[in-house]
Amino acid sequence: MTELQITYPPELPVTQRRDDIAAAIRDHQVVIVAGETGSGKTTQLPKICLELGRGSTGLIGHTQPRRIAARSVAERIASELGTELGDLVGYQVRFTDRTSRTSRVKLMTDGILLAELQRDRQLRKYDTIIIDEAHERSLNIDFLLGYLKRLLPRRPDLKLIITSATIDVDRFAQHFDAPVVEVSGRTYPVEIRYRPLMALRDGSSLASSGTESSIDDEGEVVVRDQTEAIVEAVKELSAEGPGDVLVFLPGEREIRDTADALKDLPRTEILPLYSRLTAAEQHRVFSSHGNAVRRVVLATNVAETSLTVPGIRYVVDTGVARISRYSVRTKVQRLPIEPISQASANQRSGRCGRVEAGIAIRLYSEEDFESRPEFTDPEILRTNLASVILQMTSLGLGDIARFPFVEPPDRRNVQSGVQLLEELGALRHGTLSKTGRRLARLPIDPRLARMIIEAERLGCVREVIVIAAALSLQDPRERPGADHPKEQAQADQLHARYKADGSDFLTWLNLWRYLKEQQQELSSSAFRRMCRREFLNYLRVREWQDFESQLRQVCKEMKIQVGKGRGFETGASAPSSTTEFDSDGIHQALLSGLLSHIGLLEEREKEKRGPREYLGARGSRFAIFPGSVLHRKNPQFLMAGELVETSRLWARQNAAIKPEWAERLGGDLVKRTYSEPHWSRKRAAVMAYERATLYGVPLVADRLVSYGKVDVALARELFIRHALVYGEWHTRHRFMDTNRRLLEEAEELEHRARRRDIVVDEHTLFDFYDARVGADVVSGAHFDQWWKQARRTQPELLTFDPAMLTHDTADEVRATDYPERWEGEGLTFPISYHFEPGAAADGLTIDVPVATLNRVEADDFSWNVPGLRKELVTSLIRSLPKSLRVSFVPAPDKAREFLAAVPPGEEPLLDALERWCRSTSGVVVPRDAWDWSKVPEHLRPTYRVVGDDGQEQARGKDLESLKAPLRGQFAEAIAEVASDSGLARTGETSWVFGTIEPSFTQKRAGHEVQVFPALVDEGVSVGLQVFGSADEQEARHRLGVRRLLLLALPSPVRAILDGLGNAEKLGLAGSPYPGVADLLEDVRAAVVQAVVDARPAVRDPAAYDALLAEAARDHEAQVRVTMADVVRVLDAWRRTEKSLSGRAEMAMLPALTDMRAQLARLVHPGFVGEAGAAQLRRYPAYLTALEQRREKLPGQLNRDRQLMDQLAELQDAYLHQLEALPEGRPPGAQLRQVRWMLEEYRVSLWAQQLGTPYPVSDQRIRRTLAG
């Protein structure tokens, strides 16, 4: 082989830096070469590497983001080196490999290099790798850069060269700690002209680049169509002189439309440029042409950086491109046309000015350009990561969160990718399953790969490969635009021949078979003409066939039996016939990859117009795309090959499915819920209604199933209770008749003795059977089978002992259930019991001395004694109207749940019961719904009023009626006490109260009166009142003392306000208070409250004076310190409030509602004074914990729900007690303590790393709540 002659074109900027680049490559393992497009870096770097001796121990691998670039760059380098393509320099793209054993430079797409990692993880095949166009930040590029970051330390001999336009180069340099060699690019100035689609008639532009007209009264706004604007721009540039024009458009359709609009321009050659063109068609763009003809190249963003089109002097930039984006909400990969970034716009304008000074026309305003983002989001931040995660897991690269990406992907996108792989059965608990390992070997989207794996089981691999290949590529069927109605109708008519009833997927098979038949009958050129005539894109047809062939080859390598495929035989019937295909098998295989793309037809009102909507996965809603064969047919269930979001979410490529297919394929993903477990006398079993959903889409509703397989314990309990205890079972077992007779005898004894505690309750009978019946007995059939064996050795096992049916003595009744004295609020009353149903004295009687009658209320006794409490609550529930009662059955069970959940005596029974009903079932029970006439009389206490001599003065069940005749005496007695002690004061602003006793008791008008004096905050003054409990006294007195101090101390608020800077004012302004002054007054209150709470309760002038002196010391300084704390709290509050705003998925709403409620309790008007200066310092921790919880919520919904369940009961109990306080009564010390314990508990649950100032737990909070 002759010695290689390497020369460098002197006009290229990279040639000027050749020595610097070579030195950098020689001295460093990683080098970043930055330069504008056209600087020559792509074509000259491989030659520099060859000159350095690289490519001798391995290939020089050179990646390109696009196939068209890989091929054209390889041709250019081979040409400059004077060798044949495929010899020294070769290339490999998805369907073509033009390399040989003698190749030293290999151009390829980045996807090819990624695929090689599966077989060569160390990349031993290469001694140099060039990653070109790294600034594009495609998913493949980002993954390769991350992989190479890990690989380079293990391959010190491997050189890595990263080329980039001068966009965000520092990010690459920092990632690899590598030197950057800058290569100047554009050599001539470029004039930028803005020609927005929307402009005023005077020529000035509007800031918007949208296309909606905004015509004023005089009609001055001009709105142009994009194609029209391009034509005008080309004409404007044509007047500037010779030179070719490069027009950037978002897609092939726009290129076709624009080409049609430009075809009549004189002496103009129109050439398209996009990646799907053949090599020959692409070569036309790079070929030279005479000066007599102006060339207009219509290109997608493939010409933005990947290719340098020669001779370009003018650029027309539409400012938009199709940018792939993944929607986390709908789990759909969208391909919207979006405005490009500033960097992309500059890349486009940089394409002119290579030859001489250039002009770039932007079809949008300069204001629009300035408002655009600086860079395009990397693909890794806007795409589904399932394929990357699958490949990474397959390669054993560990957690994606720890992978050294240049820019780590969004955590939600990672979670979505993992969810998809779990949906496909590829991942199980974070590790690759057998299915996942097979999916990783198939070079297609994981969804499509999963279809092929399932097709193997169903015996339809050949057909599914054809469909999977079609779904991977662009549709070969072409439909002319609306501006060509005749051709459009003709295309629709021709394409309708392949349509399969009920399935767009089978339509692909019909088209495939038709194309195969035509290929066999026609020559190659005739087949190409047929495609064009029938509106089929020949290139895409060929790509489809090539890809199908490649998939078949991979399947054979994986030992997947492909088969011949039913219905593909030559001479098969008409294309639209689908009878030869195993349609059910094919659709089930396809469904295995589309489980989250299923939909259930939603009901709607008949008069509503428009396409019917389907309920899709995770609450999404979509409609069938008009081009689908299912359009307007609306099957009950369907699956969609893709969900595309444009004006709405459309389902494309659809087929009707059966829900049982999804139920089988969904496996553990199917969520099953069961409702209304009930005993069925007819079936002698416990039955329930099953509902099965897949990603929220109901597959089965109200299917009656045996509940014994679902919940053995509950099914067994219901069987024992209904069949054995209640006797709701037709059976001839002897023990049942015997037990029924023994129960009747015991009940007769109860009737004679007129005692209510003789016969044991149903729970005792249940416990009897529960201790004996087999653990697996859940139905009559199970019982018969078990009893047949058990009775052989223990025939009397289930027969009652008569003694167990009755209570032998009263000693069995616990004293705590039936106490002899009632105690409360320092009072003690004797209780007597009388069991005589129907008599006036039946039930319990409480003796109330007339002297203390004023201190008790009927509500104090509303809970009755513990022994009767369950019966009382059960009777109350049963007294409700049927419409309300049905929500609380069985009544005894509900009564037991209520009593277990609500501490007795905290508030009147009916208040507590109504609140519990509302909180547990959402049912509001009005007070008049309780029918006391249906409650047995013995469950209502009888009150016996006795005088000082012990003689009965009155008796009855209505305490208020008993108190009425004496009410005047009560008021007179309390007035006497207040007057004699000077306790009735109001409107005071200084300490004039003398010494206030903690409490005292006096007897007035024959009544014993105990009072608890306390100062009361009246807003602008302080009063002195008496209260009936020490707890209320403490709560009110501390606030009264605080008000008195605030009135006595000079307020520093005005001085602080005047001294505030703008930043401080801004920090304080955004608060829930009406104004900053109000906020500062509350800060002042918090400071004073801290002084009050730090000392024992003030009850005399000396103690008050000492407290006032302490409060006055450094008062303004303390206010300023606390104000700084408040600024920090408000800043955190605003940040937290913002994180909780906006739209959210339905599944997150309970958690978000809880978080918003917590935030509202923390920050509200008056919160500073309520919290106090010390507690305010914990607010940043509370708000940080709230923020962290919100951040973690999307990925930890189940975990969050579990933590909420831990807290909910405690939170409800606290709020329950808070709401039970009379209006205007501040919470006591115990409730205040619980409030902050709950906040610390939230920190320990959701942000444990923040720590808590004291130990907090469920049990500690419960103990504090209980007092």
CA distances to 544, 672, 690, 709, 1161 from 686, rounded to whole Å, are 56, 17, 13, 10, 45
* Rounded distance between C-alpha atoms, residue 324 and residue 337, angstroms: 9
* Rounded distance between C-alpha atoms, residue 1229 and residue 1212, angstroms: 18
Quick one: pLDDT at residue 574? Answer: 39
The pLDDT of 570-588, averaged and rounded, is: 66
Q: Last residue of some domain: 932, 957, 982?
A: 957
Q: Is the pLDDT score of 119 beyond 90?
A: no
Q: Is the pLDDT score of 216 beyond 50?
A: no
Same domain, 255 and 201: yes
Same domain, 25 and 140: yes
Contact 528, 537 (CB under 8 A): no
Q: Does 1207 or 1006 have the greater pLDDT score?
A: 1207
Contact 1201, 1151 (CB under 8 A): yes
The answer to whether residue 3 sits within a structural domain is no
pLDDT tens-digit readout, 1086-1104:
999 999 999 999 999 999 9
Looking up tokens 């390669």 gives 395
What is the Cα gyration radius of the chain? Answer: 42
User: What does the block give as tokens for 379?
Assistant: 């693909």
Q: Is the pLDDT score of 162 beyond 50?
A: yes
Mean of pLDDT over the chain: 86
The answer to whether residue 472 sits within a structural domain is yes
The answer to whether residue 427 sits within a structural domain is no
Q: Is the pLDDT score of 1258 beyond 90?
A: no
Q: Is the pLDDT score of 202 beyond 60?
A: no
The answer to whether residue 937 sits within a structural domain is yes
Contact 222, 271 (CB under 8 A): no
The pLDDT of 264-275, averaged and rounded, is: 88
Quick one: pLDDT at residue 307? Answer: 64
Quick one: pLDDT at residue 274? Answer: 81
CA dihedral 601, 607, 608, 614 (to 10 degrees): 0
Mean pLDDT is lowest, of 386-395, 467-476, 1008-1017, for 1008-1017
User: What does the block give as tokens for 1245?
Assistant: 């649950």
Q: What is the DSSP string of 408-465?
A: PPPHHHHHHHHHHHHHTT-EETTEE-HHHHHHHHSSS-HHHHHHHHHHHHHT-HHHHH
Q: Is the pLDDT score of 246 beyond 90?
A: yes
Same domain, 194 and 74: no
Same domain, 1001 and 1102: no
- Give the domain CATH number at 137: 3.40.50.300
Question: Can you tell me whether residue 978 is helix, strand or coil?
Answer: helix
CA dihedral 115, 120, 121, 124 (to 10 degrees): -130
Same domain, 472 and 564: yes
pLDDT tens-digit readout, 420-434:
899 999 998 878 899
Q: Is the pLDDT score of 722 beyond 80?
A: yes
Single-letter amino acid, residue 1096: P
Quick one: pLDDT at residue 253? Answer: 75
Quick one: pLDDT at residue 967? Answer: 59
Which range of 90-104, 505-519, 1006-1020 scores highest in mean pLDDT? It is: 505-519
Domain count, the chain: 7
The pLDDT of 718-730, averaged and rounded, is: 93
Contact 382, 416 (CB under 8 A): no
Helix H, strand E, coil C: the string for 641-695 is EEEEECCCEEEEEEEECCHHHHHHHHHHHEEEEEEEEEEECCCCEEEEEEEEEEC
The answer to whether residue 608 sits within a structural domain is no
User: What does the block give as tokens for 850?
Assistant: 């007339």
pLDDT tens-digit readout, 14-49:
999 999 999 999 999 999 999 877 788 999 999 999
* Rounded distance between C-alpha atoms, residue 126 and residue 160, angstroms: 10
Angle (nearest 5°) at CA 697 between 691 and 701: 25
* End-to-end alpha carbon distance in the chain: 97
Which range of 328-337, 926-935, 995-1004 scores highest in mean pLDDT? It is: 926-935
Q: Last residue of some domain: 591, 611, 629?
A: 591
Same domain, 177 and 195: no
Chain centroid to CA 927 = 40
Residues 6+ apart with CB under 8 A from 977: 983, 1002, 1004, 1009, 1011, 1026
Q: Does 1013 or 1030 have the greater pLDDT score?
A: 1013
- φ, ψ of residue 602 to 5 degrees: the values are -90, 145
Quick one: pLDDT at residue 1088? Answer: 93
Quick one: pLDDT at residue 562? Answer: 87
- φ, ψ of residue 814 to 5 degrees: the values are -70, 140
Same domain, 910 and 774: no
Secondary element (H or E) of residue 611: none
Secondary element (H or E) of residue 359: strand 358-362
The answer to whether residue 850 sits within a structural domain is yes
Same domain, 1114 and 1184: yes
Q: What percent of the chain has pLDDT over 70?
A: 90
**CA atoms within 13 A of residue 554's CA, in its CB half-sphere:** 19
Q: Does 207 or 75 have the greater pLDDT score?
A: 75
Q: Is the pLDDT score of 642 beyond 90?
A: no
Single-letter amino acid, residue 1001: T
- Domain housing 342: 190-213+220-381
pLDDT tens-digit readout, 779-836:
999 999 999 999 999 999 999 988 788 776 434 445 567 677 887 766 788 888 776 7
* Rounded distance between C-alpha atoms, residue 1050 and residue 1111, angstroms: 11
* Rounded distance between C-alpha atoms, residue 592 and residue 451, angstroms: 6
Q: Is the pLDDT score of 1028 beyond 90?
A: no
Quick one: pLDDT at residue 679? Answer: 94
Contact 775, 719 (CB under 8 A): no
Mean pLDDT is lowest, of 406-420, 511-525, 805-819, 1001-1015, for 805-819
The answer to whether residue 774 sits within a structural domain is yes
* Rounded distance between C-alpha atoms, residue 635 and residue 572, angstroms: 29
Same domain, 1173 and 1191: yes
Same domain, 23 and 163: yes
pLDDT band at 248 (very low <50, low <70, confident <90, very high): very high
Quick one: pLDDT at residue 212? Answer: 37
Same domain, 860 and 952: yes
The answer to whether residue 529 sits within a structural domain is yes
Mean pLDDT is lowest, of 86-95, 601-610, 1118-1127, for 601-610
Q: Does 1114 or 588 have the greater pLDDT score?
A: 588
Angle (nearest 5°) at CA 334 between 333 and 337: 155
Q: What is the DSSP string of 613-635?
A: EEE-GGG-EEEE-TTSTTTTT--
Contact 173, 24 (CB under 8 A): no
Q: Last residue of some domain: 534, 559, 591?
A: 591
Same domain, 179 and 72: yes
pLDDT tens-digit readout, 219-234:
455 678 889 999 999 9
pLDDT band at 753 (very low <50, low <70, confident <90, very high): very low
pLDDT tens-digit readout, 1118-1152:
999 999 899 999 999 999 999 998 888 888 999 99
